């Protein structure tokens, strides 16, 4: 599962840029405020940041490389099968996903939290939690 949060620059001090989260719609802030080492940011300091938060289970904890495990595995051209989302909760209505369950296709491109999959004569985007790489 991934959460996205947007942050606005609230100030800069020596060596740090401080950002405050902009809550989305009716949800409260996920993180609140963050401070980032100024040397890691492009110049001029960006006024907005978008940050993705990925949750790892205990099994994945020993292999944290900055990307969710599925993101490292899938790439354009890979064959995948659509599976029931058992990790990220409900993102779309169950009846939407049911029409694709068990179908196989090829990854056209990937994003931070999912992939566009060619399924016959159409293509649909799926979160990584709903994709299983063919073995």
pLDDT at residue 62 greater than cutoff 50 = no
Rounded CA-CA distance 27/7 in Å is: 14
Q: By mean pLDDT, which of 30-44, 71-85, 87-101 is the weakest?
A: 87-101
CATH code of 88's domain: 2.30.30.30
pLDDT at residue 70 greater than cutoff 70 = no
In a domain, 60, yes or no: no
In a domain, 120, yes or no: yes
Same domain for 75 and 129?
yes
Same domain for 91 and 122?
yes
Please state whether the predicted TM-score (pTM) of the whole model is above 0.75: no
Tell me whether the omega of the peptide bond preceding residue 61 falls within 30 degrees of 0, making it cis: no
Same domain for 79 and 29?
no
Same domain for 128 and 74?
yes
Domain containing 47 equals 2-54
Same domain for 82 and 125?
yes
Is residue 85 very low, low, confident or very high in pLDDT (cuts 50, 70, 90)? Answer: low
Structural domain count, the chain: 2
In a domain, 25, yes or no: yes
């Amino acid at each position: 599962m991934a959460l996205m949060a947007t942050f606005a620059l609230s100030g800069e001090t020596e060596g740090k840029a401080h950002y405050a989260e902009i809550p989305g719609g009716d949800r409260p802030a996920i993180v609140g405020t963050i401070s980032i080492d100024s040397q890691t940011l492009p110049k001029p300091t960006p006024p907005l940041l978008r940050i993705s938060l990925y949750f790892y289970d205990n099994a994945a904890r020993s292999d944290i490389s900055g990307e969710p495990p599925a993101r490292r595995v899938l790439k354009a051209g890979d064959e995948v099968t659509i599976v029931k989302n058992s990790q990220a909760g409900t993102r779309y209505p169950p009846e939407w996903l049911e029409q694709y369950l068990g179908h196989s296709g090829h990854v056209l491109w990937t994003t931070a939290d999912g992939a566009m999959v060619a399924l016959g004569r159409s293509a649909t985007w799926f979160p990584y939690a709903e994709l299983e790489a063919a073995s």
